[in-house]
Amino acid sequence: MSFIARLPATTSRLGSRAAVLKPASATAAVRASSSLSSGPESRSLNSILIANRGEIALRVGRTASQHGIRVTTLYTDPDARAQHALSSPFSFNVGETSAYLDGDRIIEIAKKEGCQGIHPGYGFLSENSTFAQKCTQAGLVFIGPPPKAIEAMGDKSRSKEIMTTAGVPCVPGYHGENQDMDFLEAEAERIKFPVLIKAVKGGGGKGMRIASSKETFRDQLISAKSEAMNSFGNDTMLVEKYITTPRHIEVQVFADKHGNCVALGERDCSIQRRHQKILEESPAPHLPEATRKDLWDKARAAALAVGYEGAGTVEFIFDNDTGEFFFMEMNTRLQVEHPVTEMVTGQDLVHWQILVAEGAPLPLTQDEIEAIMSTKGHAIEARIYAENPDQGFIPDSGRLLHVRTPETTEDVRIDSGVIVGDEISSHYDPMISKLIVRGSNRTEALRNLEMALEQYEIAGPITNIEFLKRVCRNPDFVSGNVETGYIEKHKGELFAKEPLEDEVLAQVALSCLLNDASGAKVAGPAGETVGFSPAYQERQFAFVEAAQTPSETTASTAPFNVQIQQTGDATFNIVVNGKSFENVKVEQQHSAPSSNVIASFFPHTRLNTTIIRDEDIITAFQRGRQYRLKIPRAKWMEKALRIKDTANSVLAPMPCKILRVEVAEGATVVKDQPLVVIESMKMETVIRSPHDGTIEKIVHKAGALFVVSALAITAIHAHGIQPYNSNIKSALNHPLTGANYDI
């Protein structure tokens, strides 16, 4: 069933509505813009090129195809087998990884293929005013705002000046051109710490740091400038007062070429990590109605102040302590979280974008939108990422070995750009999908979200699904008591280690036994191999919990031991770490290319467990929870491979590039002191010392690239800490480890 509302292709019905007055000020224009006006003739688009990849390319293509518009897609070399590349017969290879940023090449392809317009999606070139201008000059419709609006709102300093003039409140701070470090530090002291350091060309949390004191200001400024230059090619910074208990509330606006502008509600995006959103909801909980309407009015004023057209999001910081809100920035594109708004308005915002680009007036008035929203309840979106929450949410990558999604309904929607077997690339954003749910109220929406997350199974890369479940169960989130520092404030509960159920170990061991996963052949009395034979000798298995961080090793983790004895036809006695389960009956077992499902009757319950094995890593799903186990390597094998314990070395946590080495050989360091700064997917991560100690050896310099996540990059030696493992190279080159890289 489709959850995207299909709007009528014609807009002639709207053409007879009264024209909008053109007030002198943007603020005065807000109220008048609640009505629709007619204007220039519409220009139909019959063919568009989507200058993006993954989920958003599929999302835009779906709506375009529904309305009879031919779609041309692009793909880079790493994306040659991606779903968006396969979604259209008109798909073109643009070459290397960064080619989605090659605006001239993209325009050339669009012209050659007879496309009339370009939809930029989000990210990449979507907020590039130069690209938008070049599209117009080439005779192509840029399905987005005018270049001047993008330019005005893309410069954080200039946009705040415009907002102040338009009567939109802004956070106190320095937004000027002077980038001298001493001057910026003095401005920070004037504003008073804590302060937010933010790239003027930034977005998506990149180039943003919080300095809590004068002592940390310079380090944070250097880090923010480096990340901004790497991401946007511009390291100009602004400094603002950091509100200590803020909520991130944004308003979805839409404007057309006729002077009409509407607000399609607000979204609360306060649950964030690394300054990036992971949960969004609409409407924002516990927001006074007068404040809500004021936010909408200010957002429309912001859009009108820059002559906006199309979809945009005006972001505000809301002070939980005072109830005040301040303009933060405007994203001049469709947002990742736009499905939340679609769920509470029943509108297809991509179709709205196309209508506006064709010159049609907006399909609905402000009053009509509000009437619809009053009947739609509450919606929440959870972003499913390939990332490791236990390691600071660093991105993960790899092949999707198993994917099982919740059943989609009118109240449960999934937007994704990948299927089982696809690769989550280290070259691009690690988002796997977006799960969007709706309920008649927030309580019902939360129940639907938790249930859907329990049904969502992904094996391969580490994901944030288990973390999202814990957020949904947290009392403060359930009550709507949120702020942008929520994760840090609740880290004790959100990152608490959950116990491993004995029944999970029993099911995994049964699966290994019945599939002979160990490779050993044990004969029964009639010469049969292991299986449902009447009796055979006892089998023993050992598992450890799979390491979630590079410093965790099998050697430092006590194994879980499981003994199995078959006592009858498909009946077993199982002992897990001394706890016995007698007469466990295996009812059925289904094997598929990517998974194995085993159903068993225990003395106290019936269990269905889905099990996926990838070499020595086993992923199990049971009763709505995921478990990751590892089959420990035998001691004789570790000795043969000359592998030593690297728990006290500093390891690269993901495929990455070293940007900076912050220490020198022989230096004394303290626990949590920055050692190395790495970059992956254009996000900087600081690798810190796990102990007090002395740097024995710097293994790699700035600029070094890593394509595996288990390489030692720095060694520390002091207070019993192991020295750098010089034999790790031989282990990495051994075929059993699946790697062959110089280090």
What confidence tens digit (pLDDT) does each residue in 596-617 have? 999 999 999 999 999 999 988 9
Least confident of 249-253, 333-337, 393-397, 639-643: 639-643
CA 655 to chain centre: 17
**In this predicted model, what pLDDT tens digit does every residue of 271-293 receive, in sequence order?**
999 889 999 999 999 999 999 99
Cβ burial of 54 (10 Å; 0-12, 13-18, 19+) is buried
Confidence (pLDDT) at 41: 58
pLDDT at 364: 99
Highest mean pLDDT among 475-479, 556-560, 638-642, 644-648 belongs to 475-479
Give me 532's structure tokens.
Answer: 């449902």
- The residues pairing with 409 across neighbouring beta strands, listed in sequence order, are 412
Q: Which whole number is the average pLDDT over 115-122?
A: 98
Q: For residue 86, what pLDDT is reported? A: 97
Q: 684, 646, 680, 686: which is closest to 662 by C-alpha?
A: 686
**To the nearest whole percent, how much of the chain has pLDDT over 70?**
81
In the predicted structure, residue 18 carries a pLDDT above the cut 70? no
Q: How far is residue 602's CA from residue 436's CA, in Å, rounded to a whole number?
A: 36
| Region 18-35 average pLDDT | 39
The catalytic residues are 333
Which tokens hold the place of 740?
Answer: 């062959």
- Model pLDDT, residue 479: 98
Mean of pLDDT values over 108-122: 98
C-alpha distances in Å from residue 20, one per residue of 25, 38, 39, 259: 14, 8, 10, 7
Which residues 6+ apart lie within 8 Å of 202 measured at CB?
A: 156, 208, 228, 231, 232
Give me the domains of the chain, ranges plus CATH numbers.
12-151 (3.40.50.20), 172-241 (3.30.1490.20), 384-461+487-496 (no CATH), 502-632 (no CATH), 636-737 (2.40.50.100)
Q: What is the pLDDT of residue 696?
A: 79
Residue 102 is predicted with a pLDDT of 98
Check residue 688 and give its pLDDT: 81
CA angle 174, 175, 181 (to 5 degrees): 65
Q: What is the pLDDT of residue 70?
A: 98
Amino acid type, 339: P
Residue 231: its pLDDT value, please?
A: 84
Alpha-carbon gap, residue 249 to 81, rounded angstroms: 37
> In the structure, what pLDDT confidence band is assigned to residue 519 with cuts at 50, 70 and 90?
very low
Distance between CA 423 and CA 89 in Å, rounded? 21
Give bridge partners of residue 238 from the DSSP assignment.
198
Token pair of 450 as six digits: 């938790």
Q: What is the mean pLDDT of the chain?
A: 85
At 51-85, the pLDDT tens digits run 999 999 999 999 999 999 999 999 999 999 999 99
Omega before 283 cis (within 30°)?
A: yes
Which tokens belong to 145?
């705002």
Lowest mean pLDDT among 348-362, 380-394, 661-675, 715-729: 715-729
Cα separation, 699 vs 712, in Å, equals 8
The predicted structure's pLDDT at residue 689: 81
Give the per-residue pLDDT at 34.
45
Minimum mean pLDDT among 245-259, 526-540, 576-590, 680-694: which range?
526-540
CB atoms within 10 A of CB 659: 19
More confident residue, 322 or 23: 322
pLDDT tens, 672-730? 888 888 877 666 778 888 778 888 777 777 877 765 443 444 445 544 333 333 332 22
Of 248-262, 282-296, 389-403, 512-526, least confident by mean pLDDT is 512-526
C-alpha dist (Å) from residue 123 to 39, 167, 334, 335, 385: 31, 29, 9, 9, 16
Q: Assess whether pLDDT exceeds 90 at residue 29.
A: no
pLDDT of residue 635: 59
pTM reported for the whole predicted model: 0.80
Give 652's Cβ-side CA count (13 Å radius): 25
Percentage of residues in the chain having pLDDT higher than 90: 68
Model confidence at 205, pLDDT cuts 50, 70, 90, reads: confident
3-state secondary structure of 460: coil
Pairing status of strand 668-669 against strand 693-698: antiparallel
**Strands 571-576, 560-568: pairing kind:** antiparallel
pLDDT at 446 over 90: yes
pLDDT at 536: 59
Residue 173, token pair as written in the block = 């701070």
pLDDT of residue 621: 98
Dihedrals φ, ψ of 213, to 5°? -155, 170
Q: How far apart are CA 353 and CA 333, in angstroms?
A: 10
Q: Is the dihedral of CA 237, 238, 243, 245 positive or negative?
A: negative
Q: What is residue 547's predicted lDDT score, i.e. its pLDDT?
A: 67
Given this model, what pLDDT does residue 317 score? 96
The predicted model gives 169-173 an average pLDDT of: 92
Q: How large is the average pLDDT for residues 349-366? A: 98
Long-range residue pairs from 173-178, CB within 8 A, at least 24 positions apart, any chain: 173/238, 173/239, 173/240, 173/241, 174/238, 174/239, 174/240, 175/200, 175/238, 175/240, 177/236
Q: What is the mean pLDDT of residues 305-321?
A: 97
Contact 714, 652 (CB under 8 A): no
> What's the pLDDT at 549?
53
Of 63-67, 76-80, 117-121, 660-664, give the lowest mean pLDDT range.
Answer: 660-664
Residue with the two structure tokens 């598929």: 592
pLDDT-based confidence at residue 654 (cuts at 50, 70, 90) = low
